[in-house]
Each structure stands twice: as structure tokens, then as C-alpha cells.
């Protein structure tokens, strides 16, 4: 038996005094220490306490993992899709058995509420692997005709090879699953570099994959800084596909380093939420709470722009302020009554604070919140915030705030709202509220976004549907979601048979 990483049985004893042993890297079918022997601390954002030590992988570790994945790709891609499906089901079964452990470690490492959000993310994780198992058995080809009656043409999908997976800290189970599961289903091998801020729960997920008895080298985990490990994945010649979820800025760097490779990039957005003059205000308020406060606003589809027709502006704002005060409970993420936990890291908290202060200085009105709330346990707690009179010149309107902030702008009519949304460099997801289906569909078809919700939150999506940014925007390349990710991670191969 290879050595096992130093994670705890159920997450209940994660604390400074229990965090002396470090986790390990998973390379070529076994657990190993980082070559340099270094570690970094995993810190609970709700308390500031150290909850573990994580292996500090570097370029050489990544190179060893890539070499292992390249060797394994020679046989894994030729394995029966039904065998790959069984392996994915084994992973899902293991995750299901460890559901409580995974949820608790997620809360302690990332900060999202245990009952309100962490268990839900684990359930979605299970779904991704079961869905990929089913999709593995449905990869189909073609039998197009030949101009020569004595020839037969076979066109089918084959694995591309090694997939370098680089993932963020905001959804540390969901985002890796939407890339790793379809890659394994497609017959590709994987080297995964998770975000440093949530590496502890990433190791817990990697344990579930490792325990599914995949062939050595098919799945590999290298924790460590993206500037070293992630850059090696993006630039190494043996990596055929680079799959990344994260910021637009980092995505641009990865695209440059991975020039010539197949790229699957799910990048940023600012999730405009548009209320036309006939919107159902009550439904829109409910959707706003989900759009702006789920995961404390740390989502690429968070509602970071709220454009409200001036005729219903006052009614919407009054109802929203009351709903935020009554329904959003900031606090200890292990408390079952908590609906919103802390932000994950200081850089994110500083950005949210800076955006709010800059908007206030430019004339915006803070109706609720607007401050950090360290009384809850650390300086990463940020109050649920509503800001009115937001203008296009403010950073909170133009950029990804990635925090629990609702920036409201009153607009004069549908055309004005559409113009504002389409002027944005982002094109990931937009939501529009109207009682008129014709108006909703017209708006959806006119807006520059890869996904549009009508009368639903910006944070609503389904894991089997194609999700990604509009071409030409700063929101990414390609589509994740079920078979659409598999299509990106395979390629067509044509074989001509001469029967003569």
C-alpha cells in the first residue's frame, strides 16, 4: 500500500494542534512528499486558525506527474468506455460514503456554510462523476459515405491525451469535477493543480479518486503555487489540453503559455441581473439574494450588476433591503442557521472593501452593510451589502467584485439596459426579469452572453448543459457541462478502409 496523505477521518478534529503532519502529492498511482520537502499552511477563513499543512509541489513535481500521465495515456484511452464508466462510478460511490467528511473539510477550508452550501456542493460533486460515467458510454462516431463505393469511412472520437486541470478556490469540488470527470470519461489522463487557498479539501477529493483503483498515472494531484505548477501544466509539451477555471487575468496568462494547445477556459463575468418595467419584484428580490449572496458572492455567475427599470426601482430597493436584513445571516459557517460565511482570503476581502469605498466616494449610497465584520471570528467576514445609485464609472459596476455586494443602477427602458450589458467586456451569464415571454426571449437573444436566464437568478445553472462565455468576450473559450466538455477533450479521427 502506498503511503496515505495526512488528512483526518471526518474533519471534526481539524485544528492547529492536529495539523503537524502534511498532506502529500499523488503521482503515478502513489502518495509522495514534494521533492523540495516544503509545505504551506491551510487556514480556516472563519477563524484564522491553521487547520493543516499541505505539500508544496513545484515544477519538478509537476513534470513527474505529467510524465506519468503521458505514459498512462497510451493505454487509458484504449480502455473500454464501460470500464472507464465503472471507475467513475467507484469514485462517486466513495464520495457518497465520505459525504460528511468532505462537506466539513470544505466548510473549514473554504468558509461556505456547512448546511446551507457545503453539503450541496458535495452532492453536485457526486452528480458530476455519475453523469460522466453515463456519458462515457455514449461517445459516438460517424460512418459518412465515400466517393468510392469500395471504401468505407469511419469517424470516431478519441482521447486527446494529457489534460492539465487548474482550478479555483470558490467551488473547490464543483469546478474540478466539471473538468476531471469528463476528462477521465473521455479516456484522457489528468494532472490537477488546485488553488492554494483550498488545497486541503482538494486532497480529500483526490483521496476519493485515488481509492477508485485507477491505473497508475491516470490521475495525478500536485498541490502548490500556480505560478510554478500551473505554469508547467500550461506550457509542458506533453500536455495536450489545458482546462482552467478562474479569473480572466490568469486565463489570459494560461492562454499565452499554452499557445498551440487545446484550451478550455471558464473565466470571469459580472452577471448582470436586469429587471424590466413589468418584472415580478418579489421574484426578482428572491433571485437577487441567491445571485449576490450565495457563496458570499464568490462566483463567476454572481449578480454583480443589477439594472432596474426606473419605474419599479423604489419598490424593488425597499423590498430588497428588507429581505437582506431579515433573511441573510452572516456568521459561523458551522452553525446550521448561518446563510453566509466569510470571504475566503484577504485579497478578495480587500477588493470588495475597495470597491465599496470607491463607489461611496463617487456618490453611491450604501443602504445595507458596506463594512467588514470581524466580530464573527476573522477579518474575512464582510457584511451583506446593498449599494444604490451606482454608475458606469465605478469599479463595482465594471469589474468582478467577487463579494457579497448588490450594486444597483436605475435605467430608463429595455434598450438602455441592453446597451449597458452589451458594453461590458464580459459575456458569461445574464439574467432578465419580465412577465412577457416575448420580451424575455428577445432580450435573451440580443444580449452578448453564453447563457441567459429568464426569471431566474444569475447563479442558476444545470451541470449537464453547455456553459461558457460568448465568443470574443473575456469570459473564456469552449463549454463545460456533461457531454459538451467531453467533446472538447476528444477529437475526431478518420479511418478509410479500402475493401477492394
Q: Give residue-wise pLDDT tens across range 19-63.
A: 457 999 999 999 999 999 999 999 999 999 999 999 999 999 999
Burial of 144 (0-12, 13-18, 19+ CB in 10 A): exposed
Q: Give residue-wise pLDDT tens across range 187-235.
A: 999 999 999 999 999 999 999 999 999 999 999 999 999 999 999 999 9
Q: Domain spanning 16-267+479-492 has what CATH number?
A: 3.40.605.10
Q: Give residue-wise pLDDT tens across range 38-49.
A: 999 999 999 999
- Domain range 272-462, CATH class: alpha beta
Q: Give residue-wise pLDDT tens across range 148-164.
A: 999 999 999 999 999 99
Residue 3 has, within 13 A of its CA and on its CB side, a CA count of: 11
> Is it true that 16-267+479-492 and 272-462 share their CATH fold?
no
Mean pLDDT of the chain: 95
Residue 228's φ and ψ, nearest 5 degrees, are -105, -65
* pLDDT above 70 coverage of the chain, percent: 96
**Predicted confidence (pLDDT) at residue 496 exceeds the cutoff of 50:** yes
**Predicted confidence (pLDDT) at residue 301 exceeds the cutoff of 90:** yes
Read off the C-alpha cell for 75.
493505454
**pLDDT, average across residues 169-198:** 98
Q: Where along the chain do its domains lie?
A: 16-267+479-492, 272-462
For position 6, what pLDDT does the model report?
A: 44
Q: Give residue-wise pLDDT tens across range 93-139.
A: 999 999 999 999 999 999 999 999 999 999 999 999 999 999 999 99
Alpha-carbon gap, residue 151 to 84, rounded angstroms: 32
**Predicted confidence (pLDDT) at residue 3 exceeds the cutoff of 70:** no
Question: Binning pLDDT at 50, 70 and 90, where does residue 18 land?
Answer: very low
Query: Is this prediction's pTM over 0.85?
Result: yes
For position 309, what pLDDT does the model report?
A: 98
By annotation, the residues acting in catalysis are 266, 300
Q: Give residue-wise pLDDT tens across range 333-361.
A: 999 999 999 999 999 999 999 999 999 99
For position 422, what pLDDT does the model report?
A: 97
Alpha-carbon gap, residue 287 to 433, rounded angstroms: 10
Q: Give residue-wise pLDDT tens across range 409-458.
A: 999 999 999 999 999 999 999 999 999 999 999 999 999 999 999 999 99
**Predicted confidence (pLDDT) at residue 15 exceeds the cutoff of 60:** no
**Predicted confidence (pLDDT) at residue 16 exceeds the cutoff of 50:** no
For position 161, what pLDDT does the model report?
A: 98
**pLDDT, average across residues 63-81:** 97
For position 21, what pLDDT does the model report?
A: 74
Closest CA to 55 of 3, 94, 98, 6: 6
Read off the C-alpha cell for 12.
471534526
Quick check: 495 and 153 in contact, CB under 8 A? yes
* pLDDT above 90 coverage of the chain, percent: 95
Site of grid cell 486527446? 160
**Predicted confidence (pLDDT) at residue 260 exceeds the cutoff of 60:** yes
Helix axes 81-97, 99-110, angle to 10 degrees: 70
Alpha-carbon gap, residue 310 to 412, rounded angstroms: 6
Question: Binning pLDDT at 50, 70 and 90, where does residue 11 land?
Answer: low
Amino acid at each position: 500500500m502506498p503511503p496515505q496523505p495526512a488528512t483526518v477521518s471526518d474533519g471534526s478534529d481539524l485544528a492547529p494542534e492536529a495539523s503537524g503532519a502534511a498532506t502529500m502529492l499523488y503521482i503515478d498511482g502513489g502518495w509522495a512528499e514534494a521533492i523540495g520537502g516544503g509545505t504551506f499552511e491551510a487556514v480556516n477563513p472563519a477563524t484564522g486558525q491553521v487547520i493543516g499543512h499541505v505539500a508544496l509541489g513545484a515544477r519538478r513535481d509537476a513534470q513527474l506527474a505529467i510524465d506519468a500521465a503521458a505514459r498512462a495515456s497510451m493505454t487509458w484511452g484504449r480502455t473500454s468506455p464501460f470500464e472507464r464508466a465503472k471507475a467513475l462510478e467507484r469514485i462517486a460511490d466513495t464520495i457518497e460514503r465520505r459525504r460528511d467528511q468532505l462537506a466539513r473539510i470544505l466548510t473549514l477550508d473554504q468558509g461556505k456554510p456547512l448546511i446551507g452550501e457545503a453539503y450541496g456542493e458535495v452532492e453536485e460533486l457526486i452528480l458530476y462523476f455519475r453523469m460522466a460515467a453515463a456519458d462515457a458510454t455514449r461517445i459516438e462516431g460517424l460512418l459518412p459515405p465515400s466517393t468510392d463505393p469500395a471504401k468505407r469511412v469511419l469517424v470516431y472520437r478519441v482521447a486527446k491525451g494529457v489534460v492539465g486541470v487548474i482550478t479555483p478556490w470558490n467551488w473547490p469540488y464543483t469546478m474540478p469535477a466539471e473538468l476531471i470527470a469528463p476528462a477521465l470519461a473521455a479516456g484522457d489522463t489528468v494532472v490537477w493543480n488546485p488553488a492554494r487557498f483550498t488545497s486541503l479539501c482538494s486532497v480529500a477529493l483526490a483521496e476519493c479518486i485515488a481509492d477508485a483503483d485507477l491505473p497508475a498515472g491516470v490521475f495525478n494531484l500536485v498541490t502548490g503555487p500556480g505560478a510554478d505548477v500551473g505554469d508547467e501544466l500550461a506550457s509542458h509539451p506533453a500536455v495536450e489540453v489545458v482546462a482552467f477555471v478562474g479569473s480572466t487575468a490568469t486565463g489570459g496568462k494560461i492562454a499565452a503559455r499554452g499557445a498551440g494547445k487545446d484550451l478550455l477556459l471558464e473565466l470571469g463575468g459580472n452577471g448582470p441581473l436586469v429587471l424590466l418595467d413589468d418584472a415580478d419584484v418579489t421574484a426578482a428580490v428572491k433571485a437577487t439574494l441567491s445571485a449576490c449572496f450565495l457563496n458570499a458572492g464568490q462566483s463567476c455567475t454572481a449578480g454583480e450588476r443589477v439594472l432596474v427599470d426606473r419605474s419599479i426601482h423604489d419598490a424593488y430597493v425597499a423590498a430588497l433591503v428588507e429581505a437582506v436584513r431579515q433573511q441573510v445571516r452572516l456568521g459561523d459557517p458551522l452553525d446550521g442557521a448561518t446563510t453566509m460565511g466569510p470571504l475566503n482570503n484577504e485579497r478578495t476581502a480587500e477588493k470588495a472593501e475597495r470597491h465599496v469605498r470607491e463607489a461611496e466616494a463617487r456618490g453611491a449610497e450604501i443602504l445595507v452593510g458596506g463594512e467588514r465584520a470581524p466580530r464573527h471570528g476573522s477579518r474575512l467576514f464582510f457584511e451583506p451589502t446593498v449599494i444604490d445609485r451606482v454608475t458606469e464609472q465605478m469599479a463595482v459596476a465594471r469589474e468582478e467584485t467577487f463579494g457579497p455586494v448588490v450594486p444597483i443602477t436605475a435605467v430608463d427602458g429595455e434598450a438602455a439596459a441592453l446597451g449597458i450589458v452589451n458594453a461590458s467586456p464580459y459575456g458569461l451569464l445574464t439574467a432578465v426579469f419580465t412577465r412577457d415571454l416575448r420580451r424575455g426571449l428577445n432580450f435573451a437573444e440580443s444580449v452578448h452572453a453564453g447563457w441567459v436566464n429568464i426569471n431566474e437568478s444569475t447563479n442558476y445553472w444545470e451541470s449537464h448543459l453547455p456553459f461558457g462565455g460568448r465568443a470574443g468576450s473575456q469570459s473564456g473559450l469552449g463549454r463545460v457541462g456533461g457531454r459538451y466538455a467531453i467533446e472538447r477533450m476528444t477529437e475526431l479521427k478518420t479511418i478509410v478502409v479500402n475493401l477492394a
